[in-house]
Structure 1
């Protein structure tokens, strides 16, 4: 189980980080549209399509990565009070009652839509540019497949927690600077942990007191 979990985590992380670059394309498209619309009075035909296609792609392809890092929204006002084994039992049941049926439906529907879209080269009807979107429909299927693979890994984590009594989490590969500052790491330690030079603020007296 551990080998499969590590494989699923690496796969989800690779796709999540690779498709995170879609935000750059979306930013360029929106920024360009603002400039030419406001300054030149010549709005584009394609900016709206690019923005929602890129955002949708980023949102869908980052889902499995977010799941592997427990980043999805959770209403845990009761869940956090339970023992790890109780949490694992409830999560395991919910995965099979709701998660897997929904993801499997997403896979089959995504395959159906993408196959039909590729068959006639579907283009966007939201703008006169006619931007191709058949490749965007494929994202539905791909996102569902990644979520299924990661969901199996999460279910295995539940089994391991029920057996061992504690959770096994994916290795942290990113952390906000604010979190490190609240732990009391020094400016020098923060600068040494990144390839770039960053401007940080030393912990305040309140943070030192809390620590």
Structure 2
């Protein structure tokens, strides 16, 4: 379990670090709106900054989302299955779909990034001609992080197949809806003994 939590810890750390891109993104959008519509002096760099911050956030938080089990899942039937069946299903699907896709992301992402570094690529859509080879380096890096987190998920599946219980995940932030549901359940369970 230490192996799984170590990998999850790495994914959480990277996700939290790149989560700051949201603040940079928000500030640059706010600044651009102000200078464009109030001062009538738009910038040439703001749009590029926004695209790169959003792209970095999207790429680098994938492993974080996988570690927190927050990727979108069509679980209409899945959630009704016993834990062991869920684990077998997840295990098989990781090998059939997840790992081939992530391997392609790492392989072709590396080719794209290395070509970009070789040419010192700049954005042709940008009036500022900003360099984008740094940004393209995040493509294979994000794939490698997803691959590592995927191995942790396989170990988690094996443990669930053996015990019939999903191992605990490292806790991080929770959705407000989940917090409200937990508070409601706590309130209901606190009221139950009083009724007896």
Please report the TM-score for the alignment, with normalisation by the length of structure 1: 0.84
1:85 aligns with 2:93: no
Counterparts of 1:185-196 in structure 2, within 5 Å, are: none
User: What's the counterpart of residue 70 of structure 1?
Assistant: 69
1:179 shift after superposition: 3.8
Contact residue 123 and residue 133 of structure 1 kept, 8 A: yes
Q: Indicate the structure whose relative CO is greater, using CA pairs within 8 Å and at least 6 residues apart.
A: 2
Q: Cα distance 1:93–1:176, how it changes in 2: closer, same or farther (>3 A)?
A: closer
Determine helix, strand or coil for the equivalent of 1:75: coil
- How far off its partner does 1:110 sit? 1.0
2-side partners of 1:120 and 1:95: how far apart?
35
RMSD: 1.8
After TM superposition, give the deviation of residue 112 of structure 1 in Å: 0.7
Q: Deviation digits for residues 167-203 of structure 1, max 9, x if unmatched?
A: 013121223455444433xxxxxxxxxxxxxxxxxx8
What 5-or-longer segments of structure 1 have no aligned partner?
185-202
Aligned twin of 2:8: 9
Per-residue deviation, residues 57-105 of structure 1 (Å, max 9, x unmatched): 0011000011011000000000001000000011100000000000011
5 Å-filtered alignment, 1:104-123, equals 104-123=103-122
Give the Cα–Cα distance (whole angstroms) in 2 for the partners of residues 96 and 180 of structure 1. 33
Structure 2 length-normalised TM: 0.90
Over residues 19-71 of structure 1, what are the superposed CA-to-partner deviations in whole Å (9 max), with x where a residue is unaligned? Answer: 11111111111111101110111111111111111011001100001101100
Q: CA offset at residue 3 of structure 1?
A: 2.4
- 4+ residue stretches of structure 1 with deviation over 6 A? none
Task: Mark the runs of 5 or more structure 2 residues left unpaired by the alignment.
Answer: 192-196
**Equivalent residue pairs, number:** 189
Aligned to 2:131: 132
**2:194 equivalent in structure 1:** none
**Equivalent in the alignment of 1:162:** 161
**Cα distance, 1:4 vs structure 2:** 1.7
Q: After the TM superposition, which residues 47-62 of structure 1 pair with which residues of structure 2 at under 5 Å, given as runs? A: 47-62=46-61
In structure 1, what is the Cα distance between the partners aligned to 2:180 and 2:91?
35
Looking at structure 2, the residues matched to 57 and 51 of structure 1 have their Cα atoms a distance apart, in angstroms, of 10
**Mapped partners of 2:23, 2:10: distance in 1:** 22
SS in 1 for 2:137: helix
Partner of 1:193: none
More helix by share: 2
